[in-house]
Every structure is written in C-alpha cells, then in structure tokens.
C-alpha cells in the first residue's frame, strides 16, 4: 500500500484544495502512519506560527553615513593639527638655527669703535718696542719705513673722512680703520722679528 506524499498531506491540511483529495482522505482513515505524519505536519505549522514575527531592522544607513563622516572629519582635523605643529616646529628650528649659525652682527658704529680700540692697543705696543732702541738692519728699517709711510697716508685719509663725515661714510671709515690696524699689526711684527734677529 502506497503512503501519501508530503504534497498530498499538505493538500489535506489545506482543506482539500487538491483534486482527488477524497481518495487521500480515505487512505488517511485507514493508515495510522500517514495520520501520524499529518499530525506532525500540523505541529510544525503551529510551531512556525508561534515564532515571533521578524521585522526588518530600521534603516540605519543615515546613522552609519553620519558616523563615517564624523570619523573622516576627526582624521582630517588630526592631520591638519599635526601638519600645523610640524610647520611651526620647522619654522622655529629655522629661526633658532639661523640665529645660532649667524649671530647678530654689531652695528657699524660698534665695529668702528672696536677697530679704533684695537688700533690704539697696537700703537701702545709699537711705542714700547720703539723705546727699546734696538739695533736694526737695513732691510728691517726699509720695511718699517714703508709701513709707516702708508700709515701716515691712511691717517690723512682718516682725518679728511672724519671732517666730512656723513651717515653714508661709516662703512668707508670702517674700511680705512681696518686697513690701518692691518698695517699697524704688520709694523709690530717687523719690530718683534727684528728684536728676535738681533737676539734681544
């Protein structure tokens, strides 16, 4: 004897919607196995109906999009902040480094005062060397006379520049005084060398 198929049992459960369900009902009345299968089918349907209704979740796209935009803004703000800090640090290092490598130069008048003081110191040293009345040779005397003549010319140029001094002549004065200091230094060296040569 053939048992009822699942499709026939479902048709019986749906109150005989399938044609020929009268034969299936007659078989069901005689077959306890098909009756038990139909009961299990009813129980499954009842359990499925007893499950809570599943509702689709509400649309959260707007919330997710807002969160993504917020995170992107935070990342952008952090990057801008880090970039600004790096720029400020590099500018600070540039300024400090430049000041360390090139200390502020003295003004022209300060430099002029320093050169004039150095010239006076050399004048005093030269005076002390001359007071020793050491013996000189012809070469040393010639070199000393040549240097003294050039210093005398520079002194005349300096005197003229001092008399006609304007705001723009400080650089010229500074150059003249530096040249004088160089000549004075050379003259002191000539006298010191002469003293060493004669063993004094």
By the 8 A CB rule, do 74 and 136 touch? Answer: no
Angle between the N-to-C axes of helices 170-197 and 108-131, in degrees from 0 to 180, rounded to the nearest 10: 20
Give the pLDDT score at 91: 77
Q: What is the pLDDT of residue 196?
A: 52
pTM value is 0.43
Whole-number Å distance between alpha carbons of 44 and 54: 18
SS3 104: coil
Q: Domain spans of the chain?
A: 6-50, 67-104, 108-197
Instruction: Indicate the helix (H) or strand (E) that contains 19.
Output: none
List per-residue pLDDT tens for the chain, 200 residues long.
578 788 887 887 776 545 556 777 888 888 889 888 888 888 888 888 888 876 756 667 777 788 889 999 999 888 888 888 888 778 777 767 665 555 545 677 788 788 888 888 888 877 877 766 555 667 777 878 888 888 888 888 888 887 776 656 777 888 888 888 888 888 778 777 665 555 44
């Amino acid at each position: 004897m053939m048992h009822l198929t699942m499709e026939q049992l479902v048709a019986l459960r749906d109150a005989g919607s399938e044609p020929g369900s009268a034969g299936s009902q007659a078989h069901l009345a005689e077959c306890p196995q098909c009756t038990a299968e139909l009961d299990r089918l009813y129980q499954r349907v009842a359990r499925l109906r007893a499950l809570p209704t599943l509702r689709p979740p509400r649309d959260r796209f707007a919330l997710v999009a807002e969160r993504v935009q917020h995170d992107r803004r935070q990342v952008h703000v952090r990057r801008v902040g880090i970039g600004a800090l790096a720029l400020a640090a590099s500018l600070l290092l540039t300024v400090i480094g430049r000041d360390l490598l090139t200390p502020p130069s003295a003004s022209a008048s300060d430099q002029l005062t320093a050169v004039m003081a150095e010239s006076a110191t050399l004048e005093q040293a030269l005076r002390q060397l001359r007071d020793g009345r050491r013996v000189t040779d012809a070469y040393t005397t010639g070199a000393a006379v040549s240097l003294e003549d050039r210093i005398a010319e520079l002194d005349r140029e300096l005197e003229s520049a001092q008399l006609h001094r304007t705001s723009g002549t400080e650089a010229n004065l500074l150059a003249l005084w530096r040249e004088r200091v160089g000549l004075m230094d050379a003259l002191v060296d000539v006298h010191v060398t002469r003293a060493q040569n004669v063993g004094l």
